[in-house]
Amino acid sequence: MLRTHTCGELRVSNIGENVTLCGWLQRSRDLGGMTFIDLRDRYGITQLAFNMDTNAELCENARKLGREYVLRVSGTVAERSSKNNKIPTGDIEIIVENIEVLNESKTPPFTIEDKSDGGDELRMKYRYLDLRRTPVRKNIELRHKMGIETRNYLNGLGFIEIETPFLIKSTPEGARDFVVPSRMNEGEFYALPQSPQTFKQLLMVSGYDRYFQIVRCFRDEDLRADRQPEFTQIDCEMSFVTQDDVLNTFEGLAKHLFKHVRNVDISGLPRMTYSDAMKFYGSDKPDTRFEMKFVELNDVAKGKDFKVFDDAKLIVGICANGCSEYTRKQLDELTDFVKRPQIGANGLVYIKFNLDGTVKSSIDKFFNEDALKAIGAKFNAKAGDLILIMAGACEKTQKQLCELRLEMGSRLGLRDPNVFSPLWVVDFPLLEWDEDAQRFFAKHHPFTSPKPEDLDLLESNPGAVRANAYDMVINGVEVGGGSIRIYSRDLQNRMFKALGFSEEEAQKQFGFLLDAFEYGAPPHGGIAFGFDRLCSLFGGSESIRDYIAFPKNNAGRDVMIDAPSTISNAQLDELKLILKK
Ligand code: ASP
């Protein structure tokens, strides 16, 4: 090795030792008689000291070195006179005897510090430099740890990791495919997997009853918010299991990761039905770090000549404890918040239960004190509470109030990223009606099994059928989801019919899987976790990009390598492709 120690390793116990270190020049300070250099590698920073009195030539040389030069230095470990208790090596420094410049560096386009002066785009263009920064490195290390602990846990339970191909045909996740033209098969295309779904089910047919894979998936979706066109899943499948078995197994994975990566003990994951999640939180991924549950008010709020309420399908509210003193301005802010186009509400009704016992609301004209108190009673509102109410169409109003609830949670400091509240949401609807297409789509994917007790409804009332499908939700984020699969051909055909697939269409797209199911498919089910998102959640960040070494920007571009890019005419010819002008 070119070094005896790393830059994060030396302590007081090493004083007097002769050592050789390699690393990058983080910064240098020239104090006249002395020069100090901070030498950095993946493991930390060590201070190098040069003294004009004892070795003027070396000191002069050291002064010429620029930021991010790659150095190899030898010297003696000495105790520092002024210690730095902020870093683990802060008690010592190296009295340098020899310095070798392994490589020079241009001045980096932004500072390689915890808080860099570089903007997002610039740091992405030079991502290899951004990755040198400690906070970014810590994220990448956390991701590594998450991967290792996932493998440890699943391996311990007899799961085996099996790779599945990337050049395949459409998978059933319902997004747009990335396609790859085939040179050897003119006019034909592969699709990149949106997930290994069909392959993992085939592996169950093959008898590999506990499969997992930490695997890249590709979905060509518009990259709103925090999405990446390629992302990683912890993909799993099991045979001969019930839904409870799957939930218990992966509850175990969640607990294992929290314990080993964050040292947090999770007692268990409560299970909430989809319909309760919508009713009480207005979302199928409720943030249960705080209560502030929805209360439906149709029975006490209708019939008071307030048209907005009388015309509404749903009148529903939340109670923000201790917020009765909100000012006009604060209430206006909340109203503006729900009226933003992204949320699209028409307005917001408030009732203040003041500390002096009086009640004040924006609907005083229609509701006398008794009527307001009747609403308050539904929330068990106390003096000091603020009730916020929205009204309108059912699902729309629930979603809008969900946004307001989260906003209030944030304002009240109830959404601490270091508090974790995981749960299972179960009993999702099997199908979802699409107004534009005027047909049902699978809410999860077409291989998800209906609940046996709802089977009779599949033809008569498809929208009411519940699925053996589940999501793991942590802090309002869906981190994973899966289902118990259909394994009988008959039921699969009924499902395709409900989805409006003709037999030929189903055969064309998924014939290989349906054929395989004719050869003894075991009952099976599984789950996939969004690994990037799980990492960002464990790291206490909202952005998955921070946890991906080489992410793409919002336009799906890698600005560092400048991809996607055009290809040569020769390549196009070879692929027999003609570009439309
Ligand atoms: N393939 C599914 C997904 O990517 C997960 C599963 O059903 O196991 O969401």
Residue closest by Cα to atom 8 of ligand 1 = 527
Better-scored residue on pLDDT, 503 or 247: 247
In this prediction the pTM is: 0.94
3-class SS of residue 151 = helix
**371/300 Cα distance (integer angstroms):** 8
Mean pLDDT score, 271-289: 98
| Assigned token pair, 288 | 């249960």
More confident residue, 89 or 504: 89
Q: End-to-end distance of the chain based on CA atoms, in angstroms? A: 56
What pLDDT, in 10s, does the model give residues 296-336?
999 999 999 999 999 999 999 999 999 999 999 999 999 99
**Distance from the CA of 144 to the center of ligand 1, in angstroms?**
22
Name the burial class of residue 503, with classes exposed (0-12), middle (13-18) and buried (19+) by CB atoms within 10 angstroms of its CB: exposed
| Degrees, nearest 5: CA angle 469-472-478 | 105
Residue 292 one-letter amino acid: M
C-beta separation of 73 from 100 below 8 A: yes
Query: Taking Cα atoms as reference points, which of 20, 563, 493 lies closest to residue 9?
Result: 20
Atom of ligand 1 nearest to the CA of 194: 4
Taking only the tens place, the pLDDT of each residue in 9-58 is: 999 999 999 999 999 999 999 998 999 999 999 999 999 999 999 999 99
Q: Which residue has the higher pLDDT, 429 or 506?
A: 429
Average pLDDT, stretch 473-501?
93
How far is it, in rounded angstroms, from Cα 252 to Cα 267?
10
Share of the chain above pLDDT 70, in %: 100
Residue corresponding to tokens 């311990």: 156
Does residue 481 have its Cβ closer than 6 Å to ligand 1? yes
Please, which pLDDT band fits residue 225 given cuts at 50, 70 and 90? low
Q: How far apart are CA 343 and CA 319, in angstroms?
A: 20
Reported as a single tens digit per residue, the pLDDT across 364-389 is 999 999 999 999 999 999 999 999 99
Ligand 1 centre distance from Cα of residue 265 (Å): 27
> Does 173 contact ligand 1 (Cβ within 6 A)?
yes
- Cα 75 from Cα 404, distance rounded (Å): 61
467 lines ligand 1 (CB under 6 A): no
Residue 357, pLDDT > 90, answer yes
Looking at residue 258, the DSSP 8-state letter turns out to be: I
How many angstroms separate the alpha carbon of residue 235 from the centre of ligand 1? 7
Q: How many CB atoms lie within 10 A of CB 13?
A: 10
On whether the CB atoms of residues 520 and 462 are closer than 8 A, the answer is no
**How far is the centre of ligand 1, averaged over its atoms, from the C-alpha of 204 (Å)?**
15
Task: Calculate the average pLDDT of the chain.
Answer: 96
Average pLDDT (397-413) is 98
In this prediction, residue 224 carries a pLDDT of 73
Distance CA 562, CA 150 (A): 33
Distance between Cα 533 and ligand 1 center (Å): 15
Q: Is the CB of 317 under 6 A from ligand 1?
A: no
Any idea of the CA torsion for 341, 342, 345, 347, to the nearest 10 degrees? -70
Q: Is the CB of 528 under 6 A from ligand 1?
A: yes
Pocket of ligand 1 contains residue 139 by CB under 6 Å: no
Tell me: pLDDT of 542 over 90.
no
The closest-lying atom of ligand 1 relative to the alpha carbon of residue 485 is: 7
Tokens in use for 454?
A: 């709802």
Choose among 16, 58, 59: nearest CA to 34. 59
The three-state secondary structure class of 93 is strand
User: Which among 164, 170, 197, 468 is the best mutation to test ligand 1's pocket, defined by most ligand atoms within 8 Å of the CB?
Assistant: 197
195 close to ligand 1 (CB < 6 Angstrom): yes
